[in-house]
Amino acid sequence: MRVIKLIALLGLMISFAIANAGDRGKAYVSNQEGGVSIINLDTMEIDGSIDIQAKNPRGIGITKDGHYLITANKDDNNLSVIDLTTNQFVKHIAVGKNPEFIRVYKDQVFVSTEPASTGKAPVAGQEEDDNGAVKIPARIAVVDLTKGKKIREIIGGPETEGIEFSKSGKEIIVTNEADNTITVHKFSNGKLLKTISTKKYGDRPRGIKVEPSGKYYVVTLEMGNNFIVLDNQFKYLKTVSTGESPYGVSFDREGKRLFVASSKAKTLEVYDTVNFEKIKDIPTGRRCWHFSFSPDDKDILLACGKSDEILVIDTERLEVTKHISNKKIPWGIVTYPKSMGSLDNAN
């Protein structure tokens, strides 16, 4: 009898270990033509989708506890809130015209809205033809998830794109494409603290990321084909050349390497952060803008909207190991448990 009980106990232990082994979490992909795809990170396959009841989702974020997923729906001028315990739509929250980039921070959602955006891509070396129109400042809508509504707005520059937070949490930093500026705002009330022009370094600031310890920031300049480094007081330090049209940017968890998605160069570029020397160009696909590490840091998942796929990249070998087909124009990607990436941080 004791032997039978021991065998049964061992069987239960083995079953439990198998059930929990390799539970790497899930990735969530916003698709401009089809809601949200769910990727099982154990199998690296799409194993479900979420109906967000809206069109053209772009920005995507997830709460710290993994309870809610939020998408920015460009055509419907709102956010979708999804309960991830059931993968069911909860509600829409109106935020303003052309919502695009999302960051979730301290139970609040920060989303860029762009009343002046035409939706047309700029042409390198050419001034935008706005017929003398006044460039309307963008708004960063601040949504309180507990209250379920927009509680205030931060005035950015024309066509605000990237959003980041200082390590202390006292400042919010945004990139403004149309007037080539980076603006620093007080987190508590949105008051403008500082404006940094990128004109002398390059046009169209887009991605922004703080180094994990908070020592400095990196900002990608889409039309400069480079990124700039700012210290923690937002003073310029240096410029580093990249491939054509850099956008999404993220450090690894330790801050030892920097990854930059250069969309027109069709590469994910890897840099050593000691001196910002390039380690490698990883060939990718078309319009690969945003990416996320897996929670265990073993892989990077890169959304390539015009190649109809998600690329899986081994972080040690720095090689593409898998192509996950997704014909719905993938735009953004985040994971739970939370991890480093161009749209999120691990903590």
DSSP string, 9-44: HHHHHHHHHHHHTT---EEEEEETTSSEEEEETTTT
> What integer pLDDT is reported at residue 269 of this predicted model?
98
Please say whether the beta carbons of 72 and 99 come within 8 A.
Answer: yes
The model carries a pTM of: 0.90
Q: Is the dihedral of CA 51, 140, 65, 345 positive or negative?
A: positive
Average pLDDT over the chain reads: 90
Domains annotated for the chain, with CATH where assigned, are 26-117+136-155 (2.130.10.10), 242-347 (2.130.10.10)
Distances 176 to 127, 128, 144, 184 between C-alpha atoms, Å = 16, 15, 24, 11
> What integer pLDDT is reported at residue 114 of this predicted model?
84
CA 262/CA 112 separation, integer angstroms: 22
Task: Select from 331, 165, 189, 322 the least CA-distant residue to 261.
Answer: 331
Tokens of 219: 């900002």
Measured between its terminal Cα atoms, the distance across the chain in Å is 49
> What integer pLDDT is reported at residue 134 of this predicted model?
53
Tokens of 90: 């909860």
Fill in the amino acid letter for 304.
C
Q: Kindly give the parts of the chain with pLDDT less than 50.
A: 1-21, 121-132
332 - beta bridge partners?
Answer: 30
